[in-house]
Structure 1
């Protein structure tokens, strides 16, 4: 049976995706800092295993992988955990350097650490890595410079990894606007009008897993609309498109 790790699963996209994978018969190892929320998520879900902790801690990442190994291996890692950096957003002139360092630790360095440790198992399984990105990685929005810069860095190392790995698919995905607590902290009015994660983002990610297109940057909304037909027209990153043309992930 397929095994996945989903970080940041105590709420929002991570929670919705973990439930959707479990419903499909996946064994899912979920990580997050809220033990209560994770326990609630796993209640009545025998396929969901909980590992409480902070993804920036090496011991926590090792615990996620050990739990997956005990389940029989690892087919998928979803780096979903993320922070805005501080309580909200700020102009570039007012960005807190301490909060920005924390955001880079959570959004860039911790996902890379988990990916590095997971690669041997993913290679053995011909598995996949999904890094959750943002349109703020490629568009310049006022006050989003700190968060966007972390996602841009995540995108870049994802694209490089896609060139380097032949047996592992590397997908970095823009989930689109979602009604989540993190988005509400940035823009409560926009978040209230956004779809829930399970309405667009999760169907898009499931379509990605079904179709297994080449490594690249994808838009969840486009994947959800196209369904399994993701082989063309949905790679949005030029590096990812070049990787697909060269057969980086086969």
Structure 2
């Protein structure tokens, strides 16, 4: 069975995505800073795996810890190896750097350093440790044994913003050569999903520190996609969601109208189902909603 490693999986988008993958028969390595909520999530994930039609519960290894710690990152990757390999790495864990968010003139520099460590340095550290397993992954065949491709044309021909599907999003990242007539290169190894934000590309007051870390993660992802053409590398803006992170960022905002994380998951799964080429995507809070950007 395919194996995924998901950070920040005790709640929010990480937990919702982990539950969806467990329901499809994936084995999981999950992480969070708090042991209690993580073990609760792990019990739920094992239960979701029992309904995947394989006769046994999903194997779920739950390791509490801080992704900023190199020893913890090594333990996560070792746990994936113990499950047989690694097909998908999801860098979902994030911190804001200031709670609530503040304007750059008042942003604590220690908070920015901490956010860079968790949001940028830690994902690269995990990727570096995980690359040998991801390069060996027979990702597409192993995934399709569990969930066949929905169709032959990625994303069904359209995106959430009414845009026509671009078969070469982020051209430099998706093509073998970069000439205008090159066909998209889709890797046959594993996949890396880095959770980004619209704050990485838009100038929102008070989101400068957090947004800077996500912009760095975007650029890191873009370069990785060029350097590792055998892998799929996706950096995805899931939009504002009803999560603890958003509530901590803007405590005065009414989050009741924000979509729940599980409404974004179908867009992420569509990337997997369609073997989408490396690039930046925006996921929608609607079934199957995802567009290149």
1:176–1:220 contact (8 Å) kept in structure 2: yes
Runs of 4+ in 1 over 2 A off after TM superposition: 187-192, 222-226
Q: Which has the higher contact order (CA 8 A, sep 6+)?
A: 2
SS for the counterpart of 2:133 is helix
Please name the residue that 1:143 is paired with.
206
Give the length in aligned residue pairs.
229
Please name the residue that 2:168 is paired with.
none
1:32–1:52 contact (8 Å) kept in structure 2: yes
1:207–1:224 contact (8 Å) kept in structure 2: no
Question: Which structure has more helix as a fraction of its residues?
Answer: 1
**TM superposition shift of 1:223:** 8.2
**Alignment partner of 2:271 out of 201, 204, 208:** 208
Please name the residue that 2:226 is paired with.
163
Please name the residue that 2:81 is paired with.
69
| Structure 1 Cα separation of the partners of residues 98 and 202 of structure 2 | 21
Q: Please tell me whether residue 130 in structure 1 is matched to residue 193 in structure 2.
A: yes
Change (3 A) 1:106 1:37: same
- If the length of structure 2 is used for normalisation, what is the TM-score? 0.76
**Alignment partner of 1:177 out of 240, 253, 256:** 240
1:130–1:170 contact (8 Å) kept in structure 2: yes
Structure 1 unaligned spans of 5+: 237-250
- If the length of structure 1 is used for normalisation, what is the TM-score? 0.88
Deviations 1:175-222 (A, max 9, x none): 1111000101122424221110001x2111111111111100001118
Deviations 1:15-64 (A, max 9, x none): 11111111110001001111000110111514221011000001111111
Larger radius of gyration: 2
SS for the counterpart of 1:4 is strand
Please name the residue that 1:246 is paired with.
none
Structure 2 unaligned spans of 5+: 47-56, 138-188
Deviations 1:89-145 (A, max 9, x none): 010110100000000000000001001111111111110000000000000000000
Please name the residue that 2:258 is paired with.
194
